[in-house]
Structure 1
């Protein structure tokens, strides 16, 4: 392919993926796609982590839970929050309620990470290694936010396999291009404040600190 190297660089940046390893927890950023919780349930039953923390109230742009995005026949009903929906999916996939932590305040990805950190601190959990379940094209942005809130944690990104937009086909459809380039745009826009804060921290002298 003529532009293979160009596409490969974008693909490798956005589509992060790791093999799962024994971890302390599985994180799920808020979503109306059941595949995220289904993947987390499979990892839980395989013994990769003893707890799962779905996160999410609803999208800040909608102001309410946007509904089940796929497999509506398998997960019918009305859900108040993304967490409520993801919890239902986990329970339907035989994850016991005692293994599911609760975070139902976040309205965007950064808040998913922020409020998840508050939950794990309240539970006094030491998160040395964590699995992150997300959509394939959401992998990099999710990882950046969670890694920022958990700087000492080693993250393993295990994106869902059941996704129309994947690393091998994203550039072949208008939907895939919009989703992937939209992620790059969001990373560029949303990380200004974070990087500004990091810059300010690194420019403070020991005397000033």
Structure 2
């Protein structure tokens, strides 16, 4: 059995199983617990703001920083910037304005962390514990980046509780999601060599799944090596 993406690329059942393996590896499976602050990492996915609002209402943190400017994948969807749209969505879900800080300039995950830290410092907040809220497949890379750039903070990750199938349905673009799974795993592998993140071991079966999907053409989110 195969599935056809919008650009005609066929996704076989075997490739889908490999994608699920990578999806699971990307998630840190941290148990959510109270933190001094949360940081909602900007992206194309408004579900990050929804998850952050849910966690705030559950009493897990008193303050959240929404961080993110624009990128080629978000400019049309969030013309006023990722963090601004996230804030507006969180307000609509009942998060009070007094609990939200906005960092509207970050263009990558490293900047999300460093600029959010500066925003918190300007607000007189020096957190010992930080909850990173992000896309489900971005947890491991976000964690590895924060551990490199903010080693003194205890960092945990959270995201929407979705299966890969449900996430693809929410985004509406199977090829894009698989490309992003592959691209994020490449960054988990390569960024420690560039000093951007701490090392996160990748199991052999996950690495084999990654190489197989790269060879099959799920490459639009890869960086030059």
The TM-score, its normalising length taken from structure 1, stands at: 0.73
- 2:46 paired residue number: 34
Aligned pair in 2 of structure 1 residues 177, 84: CA closer, same or farther (>3 Å)? Answer: closer
Using a 3 Å threshold, how does the CA distance of structure 1 residues 179 and 165 change in structure 2: closer, same or farther?
farther
Contact 1:136–1:163, Cα closer than 8 Å, also in 2: no
Q: For 1:49, what is the secondary structure of its paired residue?
A: coil
Q: How does 1:20-169 map to 2 (within 5 A)?
A: 20-59=32-71, 61=72, 65-67=75-77, 79-162=79-162, 164=164
SS of 2:103's equivalent?
Answer: coil
Contact residue 137 and residue 166 of structure 1 kept, 8 A: no
Gaps of at least 5 residues in structure 2 are 1-13, 168-173, 198-225
Deviates more, 1:186-195 or 1:94-103: 186-195
Q: SS of the residue aligned with 1:191?
A: helix
Q: Deviations over 1:127-168 (max 9, x none)?
A: 11121111111111111112222211112211112464579x
The alignment status of 1:191 with 2:192, answered yes or no, reads yes
Q: 1:43 to 1:147 in 2, by over 3 A?
A: same
User: Are 1:179 and 2:180 counterparts?
Assistant: yes
Q: Is the 8 A contact 2:145 2:196 kept in 1?
A: no
Is the 8 Å Cα contact of residues 117 and 149 (structure 1) preserved in structure 2?
no
Find the aligned partners of 2:144 and 2:97 in 1 and give their Cα distance: 29
Unaligned runs of 5+ in 1: 69-78, 168-172, 197-209
**What is the aligned-residue RMSD (CA, Å)?**
3.3
Residues 109 and 66 (structure 1), Cα distance of their counterparts in 2 relative to 1, 3 Å cut? farther
Cα distance in 2, alignment partners of residues 8 and 35 from structure 1: 19
Instruction: Give a deviation string over 1:10-36, Cα, whole Å, max 9, x none.
Output: 555422121211110111111232211
More strand by share: 2
Match of 1:17 among 17, 20, 29: 29
Is the CA contact 1:137–1:165 (under 8 Å) kept in the aligned structure 2? no
Seen in structure 2, the aligned counterparts of structure 1 residues 163 and 28 have a Cα distance that, compared at 3 Å, is farther
Taking the aligned partners of 2:122 and 2:144, their CA distance within structure 1 comes to: 22
Q: Which moved more, 1:143-152 or 1:97-106?
A: 143-152
Distance 1:190 1:50 in 2: 32
Report the secondary structure of 2:75's partner residue: coil
Aligned residue pairs, count: 181
Aligned to 2:223: none
